[in-house]
Amino acid sequence: MAEFTMELNDEQKEVRDWLHGFAAEVIRPAAAEWDEREETPWPIIQEAAKLGIYSLDFYAQQFFDPTGLGIPMATEEIFWGDAGIGLSIMGTGLAAVGVLANGTEEQIGTWIPQMYGDANDVKVAAFCSSEPDAGSDVAAMRTRAVYDEAKDEWVLNGTKTWATNGGIANVHVVVAVVDPDLGSKGHASFIVPPATPGLSQGQKFKKHGIRASHTAEVVLEDVRIPGHCLLGGKDKLDERLARARERARSGGERVKNAAMATFEASRPAVGAMAVGTARAAYEEALEYARTRTQFGRPIIDNQGVAFQLADMRTQIDAARLLVWRASWMASTGRKFESAEGSMSKLYASEVAKKVTAQAVQILGGNGFTREYPVERMHRDAAIYTIFEGTSEIQRLVIARTLSGMPIR
């Protein structure tokens, strides 16, 4: 079992520098254009695929890094380039985590390759959990999955919202209710294969930030999928539901639902996204403060600016350490006894919002224009305290974990 370390090994440093080069040379120059276009940057994704960055092999290599630092290190560098393009490149990973967290080995081997495609025909995937009336309140989910035993098929009906790559994805991973009496314990995850009849894209959202990432509703109308598309299989689901019913009767321990298992595994990665954006804004502000002169001297000579930059760097480093700790814990099989995954996501996302706002302030009027990237970074950072569990939900998870109370 890997010991925790704050020092990247030579191989990790090589990958980090390679990704940083891609972010600096390919992502950064294209960021403003795709933000304005509000379209999926397919040429950038394809370039990433040609280099092996957008691929199952690369994702698996980083995911199974024994130190746990592969994914957060890679994510930080990509999002240092740009958050919108970064999410277009890395967004498929959430669906992949959904399969890894809940699927069988056969399902993992079958579906994750189809999420990425190849360098000549890139694909994306979507994880569909949130609904118009069920975001943080997963127990309010209404999308239903009903088993047709005669045909060994599941029939899905409902509407999902806020789905990254929703409607344009090759593979959709959908969380649905199979037993409404069990609330959030009666959920399961399903694969909706490519070109399945009944699945369509609803509204595409025009967003405040991360505008190069496609976000839309996914509508499911009598979507029929084979029985083997239930992640984990029917036997495992039946056993889990039986345990949930028994515990509900006896008032025993909670049973983790399918969406929570995915979010729990992905929260440190979201923290890494936030660290990347915060670091990018800090570096822009630092360079500006060094070169911008007022009253005959660089503005970094002013204590008010210098102290802000000192706090920004300190908070970014602290956020990264929380992310790395949670990633290492997850990789080495340690339980989040104090909700360390939520801690990392909470702190890093709040730091990103604060640091990007400070960067805009340091650049003054220039920071408020689209001629400088901190304006875009500030808009992008707003999402980190919202998606995959708001900051308020993270605090609730942390508090309930510390107190021993159940997380509903």
Q: What is the pLDDT of residue 107?
A: 96
Residue 402: exposure state from Cβ atoms within 10 A (0-12, 13-18, ≥19): exposed
Task: Characterise 149 by phi-psi region: left (phi > 0), alpha (psi -120 to 50), beta (else).
Answer: alpha
Q: What is the DSSP string of 107-169?
A: HHHHHHHHHHEETTEE--EEEE--BTTBSS-GGG---EEEEETTTTEEEEEEEEEEEETTTT-
Gyration radius of the chain's alpha carbons: 22
Q: Of 105, 246, 388, 392, which residue is the catalytic one?
A: 388
* Cross-strand partners of 171: 125
* 153 phi, psi to nearest 5 deg: -135, 150
Q: Return averaged pLDDT per consecutive 10 residues of the chain, 408 residues in all.
A: 81 96 98 97 97 92 91 97 97 92 94 94 96 80 96 97 97 96 91 97 97 98 97 94 82 54 75 98 98 96 97 98 95 91 97 98 97 98 94 94 79
pTM of the predicted protein model: 0.92
What is the 8-class DSSP label of residue 170?
S
Residues whose CB falls within 8 Å of the CB of residue 219, separated by 6 or more in sequence, listed in order: 159, 160, 199, 200, 201, 202
Supply the pLDDT for residue 246.
Answer: 85
pLDDT at 388: 86
Cα separations in angstroms, 346 against 51, 337, 391: 33, 16, 6
What pLDDT sits at residue 135?
72
Residue 271 to residues 53, 173, 215, 382, 384: CA-CA distances in angstroms?
20, 22, 20, 13, 8
Residues 408 and 127: their CA atoms lie apart, in Å, by 21
Short-list 403, 389, 307, CA closest to 348? 389
Identify which of 282, 102, 290, 64 has the alpha carbon closest to the alpha carbon of residue 190: 102
38 among known catalytic residues: no
Distance CA 298, CA 277 (A): 25
